[in-house]
Amino acid sequence: MATAAAAVGARGAGARAAAWALRGSCRTAAPGRPCTGPARPLCTAPGTAPDMKRYLWERYREAKRSTEELVPSIMSNLLNPDAIFSNNEMSLSDIEIYGFDYDYTLVFYSKHLHTLIFNAARDLLINEHRYPVEIRRYEYDPSFAIRGLHYDVQRVTLSDFSRGLSVVPDEEVIDMYEGSHVPLEQMSDFYGKSSHGNTMKQFMDIFSLPEMTLLSCVNEYFLKNNIDYEPVHLYKDVKDSIRDVHIKGIMYRAIEADIEKYICYAEQTRAVLAKLADHGKKMFLITNSPSSFVDKGMSYIVGKDWRDLFDVVIVQAEKPNFFNDKRRPFRKMNEKGVLLWDKIHKLQKGQIYKQGNLYEFLKLTGWRGSKVLYFGDHIYSDLADLTLKHGWRTGAIIPELRSELKIMNTEQYIQTMTWLQTLTGLLEQMQVHRDADSQLVLQEWKKERKEMREMTKSFFNAQFGSLFRTDQNPTYFLRRLSRFADIYMASLSCLLNYDVNHTFYPRRTPLQHELPAWSDMPSTFGAPRLQEARAK
Helices (H), 459-535: 476-484, 515-518, 530-535
| 342 carries an active-site annotation | no
Q: What angle do CA 33, 37, 41 make, to 5 degrees?
A: 95
Q: Strand, coil or helix: what is 466? A: coil
HEC secondary structure over 156-200: CEECCCEECCEECCHHHHHHHCCCCCCCHHHCCCCCCCCCCCCCE
From CA 505, how far away is CA 498, in angstroms rounded? 13
DSSP string, 125-165: HHHHS---GGGGG----TTS--TT-EEETTTTEETTTEETT
Annotated binding-site residue? 103: yes
**Residues 209 and 145: beta-carbon distance below 8 Å:** yes
| 311 carries an active-site annotation | no
* Nearby residues of 107 by Cβ (< 8 Å), 6 or more positions away: 263, 264, 266, 269, 297, 298, 301
From CA 143, how far away is CA 160, in angstroms rounded? 18
From CA 36, how far away is CA 21, in angstroms rounded? 13
Distances (CA, A) of 126 to 118, 141, 240, 476: 12, 19, 13, 34
Distance between first and last Cα of the chain? 21
From CA 338, how far away is CA 351, in angstroms rounded? 12
Q: Strand, coil or helix: what is 419? A: helix
- Catalytic residue (one of 51, 82, 94, 101): 101
CA dihedral for 308, 309, 312, 318, sign (positive or negative): negative
Q: Identify residue 454 by its one-letter amino acid code.
A: E
**Residues 60 and 25: beta-carbon distance below 8 Å:** no
Beta-carbon count within 10 A of 224 CB: 11
From CA 122, how far away is CA 219, in angstroms rounded? 13
CA dihedral for 151, 477, 489, 83, sign (positive or negative): positive
Annotated binding-site residue? 94: no
**Residues 400 and 146: beta-carbon distance below 8 Å:** yes
Annotated binding-site residue? 240: no
Q: Which residues pair with 376 in a beta bridge?
A: 396
- Catalytic residue (one of 51, 82, 94, 103): 103
- Provide the annotated binding site for GMP: 103
- Provide the annotated binding site for Mg(2+): 101, 377
Q: Which residues participate in catalysis according to the annotation?
A: 101, 103
- Provide the annotated binding site: 101, 103, 377
